[in-house]
Amino acid sequence: MATHDSTRDINLHSHGGVDGSTDVRTVQVQKSLMTHNDGVAAENRMRFGSRLVLNIVSSPGSGKTALMERTVRELANDLQVGVVVGDLETDNDAVRIHDAGAPSVQIVTGAVCHLEAEMVARAVDNLDVEGLDVVVIENVGNLVCPAAWDLGEDLRVTMLSVTEGEDKPLKYPRIFKDAHAVIVNKIDIAEVVGFDRAKALDSIAKVAPAATVFEVSAKTGEGMADWLDWLRARRVEKVERLSKVTVG
């Protein structure tokens, strides 16, 4: 048997050290830099079990927390939602979610511009996951940094608001391309700010052609019904998928 397994081919090329001690050799690694994070994300996924888990991303101020407040309230009679909120500095968002009637945990990330699976794992220690149907993770307001970190979610939701420019999906392609759903928020002020709806929907369709698009106002509640129906359906789908796996 060879000392090294076949996936690692090592080639020696001497750089002419006096006693050979400076021999530089190449080691094939071929591993994702996200290997560690992805492992923790997989553990999170196990822990979440049949709960539907969302990772919601947007620029600061698009209305992630406002949408969650309303979602929590409007689902109160059929689904118990818990929220994990990432924020650079404060715990204001967790307080808002708590006031809306849902258990919430704040992750204050300090200088870190995104959530990682380990932060979520620690936060979930403080959440009674057993009693929940849906877990929403509000990521740090940023459209670049959170993209690469799997948190153990089932679905990525990327949000933009009507004040942000219709070409946003083109400027932040990765995070829109990974989205299962794209939410256009603040449609109550679309007209006032001169939002070009057709142009925005066209950029979304070009970058994220498979994503489901919702146009909502977290303020007035317009468009919420479709979004809530989608959540309910995704939750049912997950429960059914897992029960099949356990049975057969």
Partner 1 sequence: MHEFSIVMSMLDLAEASAREEGASRIEAIHLEIGALAGVVPEALEFAFQGAREGTMASAARLEVDYLPAVARCNTCDASFELDNRWGVALCPTCGTPSAQLLQGKEMQLARLEVA
Would you state the structure tokens that stand for residue 248, as one six-digit string? 């057969």
Residue 142 is a binding residue for ligand GDP (CB under 6 A): no
Residue 72 is a binding residue for ligand GDP (CB under 6 A): no
Out of 48, 176, 214, 227, the only residue in the binding site for partner 1 (CB under 8 A) is 176
Residue 64 is a binding residue for ligand GDP (CB under 6 A): yes
* First CA to last CA distance, the chain: 40
Write out the binding residues for partner 1, residues 106-125 only, by CB under 8 A: 112-114, 116
Query: Could you tell which of partner 1, Mg ion, ligand GDP, none binds residue 26, using a CB distance below 5 to 8 A set by kind?
Result: partner 1
Residue 139 is a binding residue for ligand GDP (CB under 6 A): no
**Which residue type, as a one-letter code, is found at position 27?**
V
Residues 122 and 153 sit within 8 Å (Cβ to Cβ): no
Out of 189, 205, 213, 239, the only residue in the binding site for ligand GDP (CB under 6 A) is 189
Q: What angle do CA 28, 34, 40 make, to 5 degrees?
A: 125
The span of 22-30, 107-115, 124-132, 215-223 binding ligand GDP (CB under 6 A) equals 215-223
57 vs 224, which CB is nearer to partner 1? 57
Residue 186 is a binding residue for ligand GDP (CB under 6 A): yes
**Which residue type, as a one-letter code, is found at position 160?**
L
DSSP 80: -
Residue 219 is a binding residue for ligand GDP (CB under 6 A): yes
Q: Distance of CA 213 to CAs 164, 175, 176, 204, 235, Å?
A: 16, 14, 11, 8, 18
DSSP 135-197: EEEE--S-SSGGGG---S-SEEEEEEETTS-TTHHHHSHHHHHT-SEEEEE-GGGTTTTT--H
Q: What angle do CA 179, 184, 186 make, to 5 degrees?
A: 150
Residue 146 is a binding residue for ligand GDP (CB under 6 A): no
Out of 171, 222, 236, 242, the only residue in the binding site for partner 1 (CB under 8 A) is 171
Q: Residue numbers of the site for Mg ion (CB under 5 A)?
A: 64-65, 93
Chain residues in the site for ligand GDP (CB under 6 A): 58, 60-66, 141, 185-186, 188-189, 217-219
Binding site for partner 1 (CB under 8 A): 8, 10, 21-37, 112-114, 116, 144-148, 169-171, 173-177, 205-211
